[in-house]
Structures are given as C-alpha cells and as structure tokens.
Amino acid sequence: MGLGVLEDTHLEHVPGTALLTDVISPDHHHHHGVLDTSLLKHDKGNNSDVLLVPQPSNSPNDPLNWPLWKKDLMLFLICIDTAVVGAWGPMISPGYVLMTEQFHMSYNSLNGGLGWGIFVIGVSCFFTQSMAVIWGRRPIFLLGNLLLFISSTWGYFAHSYSSLLASRLIGCIGMSPFEVLVTTTIADIYFVHQRGVRLAAWGLCLSIGVGGGIMISGYIIQDLGWNWTYGICACFFGVWTLVLFLFCPETAYRRDFLLNTDLGTDDRAAELIHGTEEKPTTTSNVETVERADTNLSSTETRKSWVSELRVFHGRVSDDSFFKVLARPLMMLIFPQVLFSFIAYGMTTSWLIVVGSVLAQIFSAPPYNFTASGVGLVSISTIVGSLIGAFTSGPSADWVVKMMSRRNNGVYEPEFRLVLIVVTLVIGGMSFFGFGWSIQNRDPWIGPVIFYGLQYFAVGFINISVYGYLTDCHRDKAPEAFAAINLRNIYSFGMNYFISSWIDSQGPKEVFCIIGGIHVFICLTAIPMYIFGKRCRSWTSRVEIFQKVMRA
C-alpha cells in the first residue's frame, strides 16, 4: 500500500503511475533500486532527483523541449484571455434588475433564459474538443476568440432580449475551448511536477475574471449601460485574436509511445533504460533538460517562428472525428472520470448559481445595493481566489513531490486528491455561513466574506481534479474534460429554478442543502484515493473500457 493507495496485482504498470523521483549517490549517479535511472532525463537544481514525466523526445519541435519562458509566456497570454472569457458570461448579472424593467420580464425568466448559454457551452465542448484532438489546439483557440469577438460586437448593438440571447449563444460556443483545452495545453507542454502551479494560475485567472468582471461591469452598467460591457469585450477579443495568432503555437505533438512513461500497462521507464544500455551513449548531464539523452533520436529541424504561425499543421490524430465526438459520453463510465465530473462539476456549479442571484439578494432589503454595489460584492471572490491560487498551486506540486519521495519515488495520481480536505472544511463552512447570514439579515460583510471563502475553497478541489484527471488520462485529456464539463448542463438546470427556490424556502435552507451536498461530494474523495489505482488498473484491463479508449 503506497501511503494509503491500495496496490494493484494485475498489471506490470498501471496507467497514471510513474517513477517521479530517484536517489542520487555521492558520485552524482541516479538510481532507483537496481535500476540505473541516470540514463533518463531529469529536472535541474533542487529538483535534480525528479524524473521528467513524460520523457521529452530529442526533437527541438517537441513542446516539452520548448524553453520555459516560451511555455510560460504562452500560458500567460491564454490565462489573460481566460480571465476575460470568465468575465464575459456573468458580467451583465449586476444589471439584471435594470434589464427586467427594460425587457418587461421577471428576474427568474431573465436569469433562466440567458442561462441557455450555459447549456450551449456544455454541448459545444464536445465539438471543440473533438476538433482539437483531430486538428490541434491552435485553430480552435483562434476560432473561439473570433466567435467571442463577433458575439460581443453583436451584443453591443443588441436592444432586445431575443437579440441579446442569440448573441450570447454564439459567444458561449466561443467560450467552450477555454473550458476544455487549457488543461490539455498544460498537459501538452509541462511535466507532471510542474502542472500544479500552472493549473492554479489558470484557475486563478478564471476566478478573477468572474469576480473582477462582475465588479467592473457593475460600474459600466450603472454609468454607460449594459451594452457597453459587450463593446469593451469586443475590443479586447479583436486584439487578443491577433495576440494568440502571433504568440501561441500548436502544442499537440506526436512523440514515440515509449516516452510516455506515465501511460500504458508496461514499464516504459525500464524499457527506455534497457534500450539505452544496449547502445553506446554519452554521459547525461542532469543539470539541463536539453543536454540529456535518450535512445530515441530525431532528424527534425527546428521550425521557424514564421512556420509556427500556420493555423493548421495537418491532422494530429488519425482517429475518426465522430468517434472522438462520442468518446466523452462513453468515458463517463470510467470511475475516475465520473468522480471528477461529480467533484468538479457540482462544486463549480454552485459558484455559477450563487453569482446569478447576487443581484436578487443584495438589491433587496436590508442591503439595497445599486448595480455597482452588487458588482463590488465580487471583490471578496478576487481576494479568495488570489489567496487560494497562491497556496493551492505551490502546495499541489509540493505534495506530489513529497509524497512521491516517501513512496519510494513512485508517483500516484491519487496524491492530487489530498488537498480536497481544504475544500471539505472551508467550503462546507462557507455555504452554510452564506445562507445563514443572509437569512438572519446580518451586516453585508458577513455574507460577502463567506462568498469569498467559497472561491478560496473550490480552488483547491479544482486543482486537485484537474491534476488527477490529467494524470489518469493524459492521452485522452480533451475528451475527459469535455465529459466533466457536462456540468454546464447541470448549472443550466440549477439556474432555471434557483431564484424561485430562494424566494419560496429562504436562503438558509437552500444554501444549507447545497453545503450538505458539497460536503458529501468532498468525502467521496476518500474511497477514490484508496481504490483509485485499482480502478485505473481495472479500466485498463476490462474490454469495454478499452473499446471506449479505442473508439
């Protein structure tokens, strides 16, 4: 038993499990038991005992071999884009009360009607992930930005409910790549021990976008009108489409299957070592990734920056488009994917639901906030997200390395789930406290603090699930994330009746029920942690699961 994770007795290697750390002898030679791991590529500096998972090829065009500054710059630009995409969805919510008067609709009808966009995101994720698997990530990111530009321009000129709804549905299709492909891109260009901080950075930008967008849009709506929120976004997406075109190259790359030491049912790390020992080698330099060597050579020449500007680089997968399109639904039968769908989907949906009723709660007595005042409530979400990201990201990577070293150098994806304990305690308290304080008509600072704690807590479960699912199914990451983003359909359903539910039963009962479900979901991480490795082995051996993976 590896730190509570039950061992498997059926496979030589369980997909997702990987040799992550080894031992450095006094003569600076790497080994893991009797295995000479000095022939594998390692990180450098304080992490020189950390093996690179997956192992990069020797090609200069392998995204794993890109300089770290290039990877981080690309992710930074995508994260900025993600922040605005995150703001785009809920940014008009502070103006819902004003819009009900303009469109002569009830709050619940407006909120539920515009909520169709959430449903569209959930459905379109299937198509965008399928296109990304077949034709690459780059064209789909560019297409998403272009659709958001068109939709925002349309939204600026929309003056009726039907026109606004139509523009939002187009924009929600454009949002879908940022729901499923950012985590895939992180898996494309970063190694296992580097992903935690980057996933936290993406999650932070998404949360800041939602919270900050609502805060800023409150003033825009109050001073200029809700149409201007779309006008400003149109300017941004127009510029950022060009930025992504210039600085975000394709990250999908076909490398030799042996280099994927975290995948497959055989010990590929040992195969690489034994294959290297059978031929003459030069001394590996563990101080740099670029100078290390493997048994797999490359004759590729480095692509120029101009050649990287091509939108399409040909097919990156030989799978049928329609098979890839159907795969996310079929992957929901995998225990790892089903757990991630429940854990990530439902907990994240609560944030969307709470955000949609802020105007309903804080525009009414005893608070009587204006549109800008409702927007300022989201300052707490920014603070909570910032603190959460700066603690969850480094903690995630530290926990992975620490537990792997204690587990004889072997990494298990279930180690990612340890951080959910933070979400269990803080998240449960935040939902209970939010409903209770509003019911008791406490001063505004009470519910606002609890609202911020929701974002702090959910950040920990998000990074745990992102990392866990990526490490379990890295080769099928787009499909897996499309599957768990079916939670948008659940969010759409909740959006339709949450307002009337609060009116009929009161906020205390509503949010205590939500808090209870949240706690139960977090507790399901315990059996997943214990039996997760056996589940991964099971899905790698049973024919029905293999048919899904080959579909």
pLDDT score, position 138: 96
Which domains are delineated in the chain? 66-251 (1.20.1250.20), 331-550 (1.20.1250.20)
Look at the block and give the residue holding tokens 């439902």.
Answer: 346
Q: How far apart are CA 230 and CA 151, in angstroms?
A: 8
Q: Specify whether the backbone of 28 is left (phi greater than 0), alpha (psi in -120 to 50) or beta.
A: left
According to DSSP, residue 90 is labeled T
> Which CA distances in Å does 428 have to 330, 379, 420, 462, 465?
32, 21, 12, 15, 18
Q: Specify whether the backbone of 4 is left (phi greater than 0), alpha (psi in -120 to 50) or beta.
A: left
Three state DSSP letters for 144-212: HHHHHHHHHHHHHHCCCHHHHHHHHHHHHHHHCHHHHHHHHHHHHHCCHHHHHHHHHHHHHHHHHHHHH
Three state DSSP letters for 11-68: CCCCCCCEECECEECCCCCEEECCECHHHCCECCHHHCCEECCCCCCCCCCCHHHCCH
Q: Find residue 19's DSSP bridge partners.
A: 410
pLDDT score, position 295: 40
b/e code 148-185 from CB counts within 10 Å (16+ = b): bbbbbbbbbebeebeebeebbbbbbbbbbbbbbbbbbb
pLDDT score, position 354: 84
pLDDT tens column, 276-319: 555 444 433 333 333 334 444 556 788 888 988 999 888 888 88
Residues with Cβ within 8 Å of 478's Cβ and at least 6 positions away in sequence, in order, are 129, 130, 132, 133, 180, 181, 184
pLDDT tens column, 384-436: 988 988 898 889 889 988 999 899 888 999 999 999 999 999 999 999 999 99
Q: CB–CB of 171/90 below 8 Å?
A: no
Q: CB–CB of 119/492 below 8 Å?
A: yes
pLDDT score, position 449: 95
Q: CB–CB of 62/55 below 8 Å?
A: no
Radius of gyration from C-alpha coordinates of the chain: 24
Phi, psi of 302, rounded to the nearest 5 degrees: -65, 130
Structure tokens, 375: 């927007």
pLDDT score, position 24: 66
Q: How far apart are CA 465 and CA 472, in angstroms?
A: 10
Residues with Cβ within 8 Å of 365's Cβ and at least 6 positions away in sequence, in order, are none
Residue from 15, 39, 20, 536 nearest 257 by CA: 15
pTM above 0.95, yes or no: no
pLDDT score, position 280: 46
pLDDT score, position 272: 64
Q: How far apart are CA 344 and CA 351, in angstroms?
A: 11
- The upper half-sphere exposure of residue 290, i.e. CA atoms within 13 Å in the direction of its Cβ, equals 7
Maximum Cα–Cα distance across the chain: 79
pLDDT score, position 533: 93
410 three-class SS:
strand
pLDDT score, position 21: 77
Q: How many CB atoms are located within 10 Å of the residue 365 CB?
A: 6
Q: How far apart are CA 363 and CA 99, in angstroms?
A: 13
Q: CB–CB of 358/215 below 8 Å?
A: no
Please list the ranges in the chain whose pLDDT falls under 70. 1, 22-35, 263-299, 550-551
b/e code 235-270 from CB counts within 10 Å (16+ = b): ebbbebbeebeebbbbbbbebeebbbbbbbeebbbb
pLDDT score, position 268: 60
Q: CB–CB of 18/261 below 8 Å?
A: yes
